[in-house]
Amino acid sequence: MFDDLGGFLINLIAGLPGIVIAMVVHEYAHARVAFALGDYTPQMQGRLTLNPAAHVDPIGLLMLFLVHFGWAKPVQINPMNFSNPRRDDILVSLAGPASNLITAFLALILLVLLAKLDVPFTEGLLVVFNLIIIYNINFAIFNMLPIPPLDGSHILRNLLPYELARQFESLERYSFIFLLIIIATPILSYVFVPLQRFIFGIFKGIVGVLL
């Protein structure tokens, strides 16, 4: 029992930076792009900041550790403030996952640079860096799933013809059921593991060329 508790606390401490960074960067990117495209709703709600308090939902954060499914405070936008609502909503939706991938890539570059400069760091710090990379890649993959209210559903809805988009929107009432199914079954692992390895492999290849 105490070993399990100790392992949980170690994972909590090591994983906390990665999860918080992934949440904050993701939501800030949504807010910043929405603001740049003419919607001032995120600014009025105090979301144009990298302060974790503005983006991290404590319950959602705890759930991530307990059941590996959680959430941040979603950035609210009003597409009617955009000059091109469908296009701009897609851009805002893409901003979150894209920012997570960029963060993961930069963390990998920093890790490799530290190693090449022979900067001493503990095994614990190496775990923290690896989890920052992994959590940000996972955040990007998960949020691109076409399940409401995830970013992937916004993108798909805006790409569909009007009637199909309305039918797709009607599925949102069942989104929690869909999420429970993919979390409680091996379905998600068939998506996450190959994509995670593919993306990480690309990043390693690019970093290998650059450094």
Concatenating the DSSP letter of every residue in 105-172 gives: HHHHHHHHHHHHTT----HHHHHHHHHHHHHHHHHHHHHTSSSTTSHHHHHHHHHS-HHHHHHHHGGG
27 is catalytic: yes
- Chain segment 168-193, per-residue pLDDT in tens: 888 778 877 887 787 777 777 788 88
Three-class DSSP category at 1? coil
- Chain segment 130-149, per-residue pLDDT in tens: 999 999 999 999 999 898 88
Q: Which of 27, 123, 169, 172 is catalytic?
A: 27
The answer to whether 104 and 203 are in contact (CB under 8 A) is yes
Higher pLDDT, 11 or 179: 179
Distance between CA atoms of residues 176 and 184, nearest Å: 12
* pTM, rounded to two decimals: 0.90
- Which pLDDT score is estimated for 76? 94
